[in-house]
Each structure stands twice: as structure tokens, then as C-alpha cells.
Structure 1
Amino acid sequence: MRDARQHDPGDKAARVAARRPAYRADLDAGTDRFLAPRRTTCPWCASTRLAPRLHTTDLLQHKPGRFTLDRCADCGHIFQNPRLTAEGLEFYYRDFYDGLGEQRMSGTFGGRGAMYRGRAEAMLPYDPAPKTWLDVGTGHGHFCAAARTVLPDTSFDGLDFTDGVDIAAREGRVDHAHRGTLPDLAPELAARYDVVSMFHYLEHSTDPDRELRAARQVVRPGGHLLVEVPDPESRYARLLGRWWLPWLQPQHLHLMPVANLRRRLTDLGFTVVAEQHAEPHDPVDLLAAVWLALDHTAPREDAPWLPEPPGPLRRAARTALLLAGVPALLTATLLDRLALRPLSHRLGLSNAYRLVARRD
């Protein structure tokens, strides 16, 4: 019954309407509290040589606000500045992965089994039979479920601060669910895991260095840490500008060049045993850029942060524009998946990188 209600447009309209007063109260109180004071130093190397890299808006949910990413001229680290406060994080994450967005995101993540198996296979040359694996930022645990087909004798645990990890345990995708943050839970999980993975997690964290230190505490000596993050040095980041999906504002707070992350892991007592660019590339850049541009141009679909639902004319105009964009979406998909994917690393277009690091 729950799934049937979620597919019912009338039920969705009712759920949107029920959330509208709370969003209205949040916005009436002003959005200044959603952003912290602007930093004058790089959070990675403390340099003062900062310059704006990108100005953009929320291109996915279209919640109000403008966001800036700064780049450090000394180390190349890119970070949101000013950064979201705790209130801002709650506001912009709300109804994205849970609530109104739960079904959409669950479908998106649940349909990526081949990618998840590839992530698990990245561990095989370095530990072909890990006994225990902790997936940090596991969400609903779809990676763990797919990884079992690669490593059937491995126990997969999930960690997340949202109720997604409880759903993962209830659905049997993880063996144990840890609800909270890695730095807070690290003391009780110390040296427990053969492998700790952070797949597209660090860029969401407010303090990546603290997360990496906590990961070192949780990985047993001789165990491995897998980190996969967007690559801010991808040529797509320059070619597509604000329409490059991995900018993902305002959720992505830090984007680290691979050299920076390698050095930090070495400083923490890890040895990087593998660096991959072609393998973690997700061939969706052109498709996502076309979709973001179309969605940005079209009238908005109903959302609780809008003052009122769109009328029939706006809904019809949105439908017409999106239908007109179908040929562009199909062309972008073919370019992404057939023409450019085999050449992504050679052309510098890979949108992510993966490091495998052994704790010494």
C-alpha cells in the first residue's frame, strides 16, 4: 500500500501541501541563518589565496539560495564558502534523500548494481576475502546488497546518520546498522574492520580531515580504506560550468584534487596502493547537464517550498518544454555511454577518482 500511495499523484500533492506551512515558516524567518560566516583561509592547507570558482543555485530541488565555491590557489582545494550551517544542512537535505525524495532516490541508487559490484571488485587485488566491511554513508545500503554477490563471505555493516541505515538493516541489505557519525562512533568501532569504504561521502562532510582520522581508527592495522569522490580536476568541470552535476550545490562542501587526498592519507599512516580514474567514472555528465538546463528553464513542478502549486498553464508549459528536450537528452545519453565513455580517462573527462589505501 505504501508504494501505491507514493505513485498516486493525488497523494503526492497532499504530501506536498502538508509540508508547505513548515517550509513557509522556515523561509519567512530568513535564509541568512543557513550560511556560516565566510572563511578567509583554505580549510585544507590554511592558505589565504582564495578565489571564487563557481556561483550557482540549487539546480536539483530549486530551493531558494545562492552558493559560492572558492578555490585555493596554493593546493587547489575547492570548498563551499560560506558553508552551510547545521540549520542549512537540515533545510537543504530535507526531502532529498528521505520524505518526498525517498522513492526517487531509492530507485536511482537501487538500479546501479553494476557500479556497486565494480566498487567491491576494486578491493579484490588487495584483500580477496575481507571478513568485515563498514560502508560509511551507506544510505539505504544498496552498495552492501550488491557487494555480497562479489564477496559472499564478507559481513557488511552500514553507517549513516539518517534513518536510511535502519531501512537498510530492516531490508537485510546490511548485517549491522550504525546510526550516527563516524567520528562519534569511531572509539567503539576501533580496529574492527578489514575494509572501510567512503563512496561519495567525503564531499558531503563538514570536516573531511576529521572523517579520515576516524576511518584510520576504525580500520584494523593492515586493513584498507576505499575512498571515491568527485574529481574537481575533470575537464567536464570547466566545460559544463554550473551544469556539471558533481558540483551538486549546496550539498557538496569539499572537492579535493587527488594529489591532496593522497598526501593526507600518507600523513595519516596509510599507503595508497591503487588510484583509479576510468573505473569510477559515471557516464552521465552530458545527460545531466542537458536535464539540469531544461529543468532550470522550465516552470517549476510543485514543491512545498513554493508559495503555491503551479496552475494548469505552467504545468502544460513544463511538459511541453521537457518533451521538446527529449532529442537532446537522447543525444547526450548516446554521447555519454557510447562515444565518450571509452575515452573518458584519456581525455581527462573522468568525473570521479577512487583511492585504495592500506593502513600501515
Structure 2
Amino acid sequence: MMPFIDLGAQQQRLRPRLEAAMQAVLAHGCYVLGPEVEALERQLTRRVGVAHCITCASGTDALQIALRALDIGPGDEVIVPGFSFVATASSVALVGARPVYADIEPGTGLLDPKWGEAMITPRTRAIMPVSLFGQCADMAALAALADRYGLTVIEDAAQSFGATQHGRCSGALSRVACTSFFPSKPLGAYGDGGALFTDDAELASAIRLVARHGEARRYHHSRLGMNSRLDTLQAAVLLAKLESFDEEVVLRQAVAERYDRLLQQADIITPRVADGNTSVYAQYCTCVSHREAVQASLAEAGIPTAIHYPTPLYRQPALADPRCRLPACETLCERILSLPMHPYLEAAQQTRVVEALRQALQAAG
């Protein structure tokens, strides 16, 4: 079976650089907050175009850290899309606040600003749009909405590092943004990792405190914090991968364009990239009827698929809101299907995927 994400192909290309980076960490022995962590934060700051980058242990931690640094907690509400990975909503609940679910734009799966505005109450403190599958939500519209109601926008950019909107980088489009370096992300470590981005010096200081036990100076803790640090070895891996990241983004976009062309020829739905956006295609998704049968047929043909995501957040038992009904979310959850996607996917492999999908859809009726 072909790989869904081929991290092995990437590793073979980068192996000498990766091994040298990890060997350097073993030599100096600073395994926690070593010099590679500081070097990575500097590079990420320059790349994204913000004043401050603070790394942490995971993308999920990044979301919680942002919320805690903004003093969002019990009694507060945060608007999130009903369609996302669980961390978007669970991070809100874990700080004691209430996630309030908004519907998405049918063509992109991104949070719909009109639905977001409809969800605002006197308890609302923030809006957390998700830059889904590699592209950003309408951050200008959401910023205007936030300004009108005195809210903060927190970009959940776990899937969009390297994407742009009207020439500005994901991560630099709101007061604070959070990303993930989980191995399958466009820029992935060899374990968990995350980062936060902001131009706000005061907020950056609060973020760093929250991520480091609230420690203002040695053994002096000025606020409650977490233990959330990016391992030095993971920073070294990310520094090595950053050297090839721009090339891999271009390769991802070429793979997506090829999928677009092949799927359109077969009259199969392709994802829409919103005007002004570029995407890093963390996933490549289509929509199908008879999804279970189609998946089974593709599996028999040796083609892996995934479903991002089969259940709306407001129907997850731990986060349920039984009153919530979001039609675009529910339609997408029922029909979405993710195809193999990585920078080194070959044209012949894509042709095989699309032909097998065409046959599966035809057989399913």
C-alpha cells in the first residue's frame, strides 16, 4: 500500500543534515532549552514576520497557553468552528471557558465570519478560527469583527505554517497565533512540538511565563503556569527541515495542482482555495457520496485514505452541545475524504489514486 504521508522519503533526502543537527545536541548536552531552541525561535520570528515567537511542547499546549496568557477562563466563551480537530475546542474547555460553535463556509471548511458574529454574547472573549488543511480563514473579516466587539482573535494555525493571506504569513494575521510541529504537519518534528506568534510584547511575556511554570525569575513564580517546552532535539530537527521547507511547500502545491487537474477531468470535487490565500496543503480533501463503500474500495486497491473529521465538535461526548445544529459542518463531516498527500507524491501515484477513486465512485452509484 502506498503511504498516506511519506516521511521516509523526506528523511532520506535530509538524513545527513538531520544526523549532524542531532549529533550537535548530543555533543553539547543541553537537552532542555538548548541553543537550538533559541535559534529556532529567531528563525521562525523572521520567517513569519512577527516580533515574538515562543516555542512549546505541542500545538495543543500552544492553544491553552494563549488562552491562559489572555486570562480567559471560567465564565468566558470562545467562538470556535464546529468542524476541526478536537484540540481547538478542548483547549477552551480545559481552561474552564465554554467553546461556542460556529458554522463553516461550505467551499473551504473555514469558519464563516457571519456565523461567528451570530454567536457573540456578553461573555465572549475571543474568536479562534482554524486555518484548516493548509489555508487561512478570512482573518481580515474576523479582525474587523473582533475590533467591533472588543474581542481577541487567536489563530489556530496548526495546519497552516507556511501559508499566506494577501501576502502575509499565517501566524502574523491576528493578535496571537498557535501552530503545531506534529510529525505529519508541513513542518513537522520527530515528536510533538508547537509555537506561538505575536507582535504584542506584553502578551509575549505572559505567554513565556505561562509556558515556563509562571517563573519570572529563578524559583519566583508570578502566575500559574504549565511545563511546556520544546525539546532541544526537536528544535534541531526543525532547524534542519527549515532549510528545505520552501522547496517542499512548492512541491506540495504542485501535487495539489496535479490532483485538481486529474479530479476535475474525472468530475470529482476539488478543494477551493479562497481568494488571496495560498495553501500548504496539510491535507488534500475531496467530498464523496457513499464514503464507506468508496473507502473500502480504495483500501482494496492499496490506497490509504483518512477522514478529517467524521464528527462535529459539538457532537463529541466530552464537548457536546445538544442544542447545536450547524448544517455546513454536518454535511462536510458526512462527505469529506482525505487522499494521500506529501511533497514527494509522484504523478503516477496520483493518477492511480484518482483512477481508483473514479472507479470506486462509479461502483458505489
Q: Same fold (TM over 0.5)?
A: no
Higher strand share: 1
Greater relative contact order, per chain length (Cα 8 Å cut-off, separation 6+)? 2
